[in-house]
Each structure stands twice: as C-alpha cells, then as structure tokens.
Amino acid sequence: MTYSIKDVAEIFNLSIYTIRFYDKEGLLPFVSRNKAGRRVFTESDLYLIRTICCLKDTGMEIKAIRNYVDFVMQGADTIDPRKSLLLEHRAKILRDIENLTQNLNQVDSKLEIYASPKAADIVKEQIRFVEEEKRANGLPSPYAAQK
Amino acid sequence: MTYSIKDVAEIFNLSIYTIRFYDKEGLLPFVSRNKAGRRVFTESDLYLIRTICCLKDTGMEIKAIRNYVDFVMQGADTIDPRKSLLLEHRAKILRDIENLTQNLNQVDSKLEIYASPKAADIVKEQIRFVEEEKRANGLPSPYAAQK
DNA sequence: CTAATACCTAGAGTTATATCGAGGTCAAGC
DNA sequence: GCTTGACCTCGATATAACTCTAGGTATTAG
C-alpha cells in the first residue's frame, strides 16, 4: 500500500503545495519517486511525516525539523543528537504551555469583569480613571479622538 | 508618572520598532503625544498594552487585536462584543493548550525510545522495516541516498 | 487517438510580523 | 550656540511559511 501526494495531503490536512514545499526544504528526503517522477509515500513515510507535523505544530522551525530529519536519515549513530534536540524542544513546549496557561488566566480575569452585572459600571470607572490620569499629565483624552 | 517608548520597550520586552509598528497598525490609538510629537505613555496605557501583549502572546492576529482595542475605545457600549471576542479567543487558547499537550505526549514517546538502553536496536529495526517496505514497493532505500 | 486528470518543476507572489535606514526635530548639558 | 541623544516619520527590506502560475509529462477512460 502506497500513497499519492493527494492522499498524504488529506491525511495530514496539509495542502499539496505545502508538501511539495516541505520536500523542497529538505524535510522529505526519504520519499521515493516512481519512474514517472511522482512521489510515492509508504506507511513508514507517513510515520515520519507524522513526527514532522508534530514538531511543526509545536512551533519548531522548518530548519530545525530538517536537522532532525537529517539525523534520522543518518541512522542509529545519531540517537544522542536526536535526543538532545527533542529534549530541548520538549522544554520549549512546556514553556509554551505554561505561558498559554498564564495568559489564559489573564483572559479569564477580563471575562469575569465583562460577565459581571456591574460590567458597565466598572468600565465607566476605568474610563474616568484613564481620563483623569491623562488630564493630570496634560494629555488629551484618547476617547474623544475616536471618530 | 509617564513612560517613554524606550521604557515601554523594556517593560514589555518589545523593540522600539515593534511598538511604533503596533501604533502604525492602530493598536495604540490611546497613546498621547507631547508638543514635540513624542509618545507619552501613562499607567493606564501600560495596562492596555499588557492586555495587547497577552492577546499577541496567545496567537491573536494584530487585526483582531485592533478590533478589540477599537471596542475598548468606544466605551461601555461595546462590552458584549468584547466579551464574545475574548470568549472565542479563550476557546482557541484551550485548543492550543490541548494540542500542545497531545504533541508533548508524542515527543515524550519518542524520547522514551531514545532514552532506552535498546535505542540503537529499536532504531536499527525501524530502518530494516523501512527498507523492506520500500523494497516491497519497488522503491529505492532512502538511506543510501544520503551523502 | 484524444481528452481529462493528477502529477511534476521552477520560480514568482502573498501574508503577517517585524526590523531597519535616511533624514529630520527637540531638549539638555557643556 | 553646538553637540548629543532620544525621539519622530516614511518607506524599504527581511523573514518564515506558505500559495500560486505557467508550462510540461505520464496514466487512464472513452
């Protein structure tokens, strides 16, 4: 069982363009061609592409992914560098999750205000505060500036 | 107490260029200028910029952030649209966290293999499998292709 | 045999987000 | 009064990651 570029595009929800672009960028050196020059994907290819998508979806740059793929293509001697590359990336993912979680809290705080029955009052009070602060510093109100 | 663009850049770890860029993009309509035409930031300005950074750091596009800022500048009448904008964004953040967490698991699975004492054997077996599959489909081995 | 279809390459174009350079203004210190 | 430093605008440039166009080839259905 093999797959065409279209199959792969559908499986991974990528455009055909993107797959060819990844190939151009050296992310798919393992994909073979038939006599007509078309890409032929095997199950093992899909397995590695799944990893590539995982790295991409967690924000790894294409250059870094190519690094990883190159290690994979060099065989069992590159296990150590692969490991440290993934460990570093793992740390980045953890930082990203941590960061998103913190920002989620901030969004939730704002939503709490907006959901409160006193929302309008709170907002009006904030506006008063902003205008007072601007005035105290000899600056124009920003609200008037809106058309 | 007011802040210069340099102060703000340091506080939020943005470049001065980026702050001017955000202003150009309509993200900072509330920032006033002094007679010399320089931006003067107040505490309230910092408060809103903090929100802008929160939205930016969670992947909201600048256009969408401008939407939110515009609502804020229109006063208490826009609480409902602000709320739904943030609710939608909150859902996106949750999806992103979920996605990162899943991909983290995948990375951890790979790391488990690489950390195992049998890592080399496992990898060699995978290579054999790939080569067998390629051969079965009349395709060349991708490992030979590496220079 | 011919037309449709799915694929190919090379290179141009797009988008979002920044970053920079040139040339100018203003306030402070010497 | 002159220099320095921090700021300004406008428009060009950069970068990553696609996305598309033009022109061409192999396979398949009628």
pLDDT of the residue at B146 = 46
**Interval B103-123 mean pLDDT:** 97
- Residue A7 approaches strand C within 7 Å at CB: yes
Q: Which residues contact A107 (CB under 8 A, 6 or more apart)?
A: B54, B58, B86, B89, B90, B93
- Residue A135 approaches strand D within 7 Å at CB: no
- Residue A4 approaches strand D within 7 Å at CB: no
Return the structure tokens found at A81: 């560098």
**Interval A25-34 mean pLDDT:** 96
Residues B63-100: tens digit of each pLDDT:
999 999 999 999 999 999 999 999 999 999 999 999 99
pLDDT of the residue at A61 = 98
B82/A contact by beta carbon, under 8 A: yes
> Do A54 and A12 reside in the same domain of the chain?
yes
Banded pLDDT at A144 (limits 50, 70, 90): low
Distance A55 CA to D28 C1' (A): 38
Looking at the 3D structure of chain A, how many domains does it have? 2
Distance B42 CA to D1 C1' (A): 35
Query: In the predicted model, what is the mean pLDDT of chain B?
Result: 95
> Do A65 and A2 reside in the same domain of the chain?
yes
State yes or no: pLDDT of A135 exceeds 60.
yes
B25 found inside a domain: yes
Banded pLDDT at A143 (limits 50, 70, 90): confident
State yes or no: pLDDT of B62 exceeds 70.
yes
**Interval A28-55 mean pLDDT:** 96
A139 with B40: Cβ contact below 8 A: yes
> Do A35 and A83 reside in the same domain of the chain?
no
> Do A36 and A53 reside in the same domain of the chain?
yes
**Interval B12-27 mean pLDDT:** 97
A109/B contact by beta carbon, under 8 A: no
On the CB side of A91, CA atoms within 13 Å amount to 5
Chain A residue with minimum CA distance to B44: A130
> Do A1 and A69 reside in the same domain of the chain?
yes
State yes or no: pLDDT of B143 exceeds 90.
no
> Do A131 and A99 reside in the same domain of the chain?
yes
SS3 state of residue A4: coil
Instruction: Tell me the CATH number at B19.
Output: 1.10.1660.10
pLDDT of the residue at A145 = 53
Of A48, A43, A2, A44, the residue nearest A23 (C-alpha): A48
B17 found inside a domain: yes
pLDDT of the residue at B147 = 41
The nucleotides of chain D lying under 7 Å from a protein CB are 6-10, 16-20, 25-27
B91/A contact by beta carbon, under 8 A: no
Q: Evaluate the CA torsion angle A93, A94, A99, A101 in order and state its sign.
A: positive
**Interval A111-130 mean pLDDT:** 96
Please report residues of A whose CB lies closer than 8 A to that of B106.
50-51, 54
Of B80, B11, B4, the residue nearest B52 (C-alpha): B11
Which residues in chain B, range 18-37, keep a C-beta under 7 Å from any nucleic strand D atom?
20, 23, 33, 37
Chain B residue with minimum CA distance to A133: B42
Banded pLDDT at A54 (limits 50, 70, 90): very high
Where is average pLDDT lowest: A20-24, A131-135, A138-142, B105-109?
A138-142
Cα A117 to Cα A113, A120, B77, distances in angstroms:
9, 8, 14
Which domain does A104 fall in, by range?
Answer: 79-141
**pLDDT cut 70: percent of chain B above it:** 97
> Do A121 and A105 reside in the same domain of the chain?
yes
H/E stretch holding A82: helix A79-115
Q: Which residues of A108-144 are buried (b: 16+ CB within 10 A; e: fewer)?
A: eebbeebeeeebeeebeebbeebbebbeeeebeebbe
**Interval B22-34 mean pLDDT:** 97
A91/B contact by beta carbon, under 8 A: no
**pLDDT cut 90: percent of chain B above it:** 95
**pLDDT cut 90: percent of chain A above it:** 95
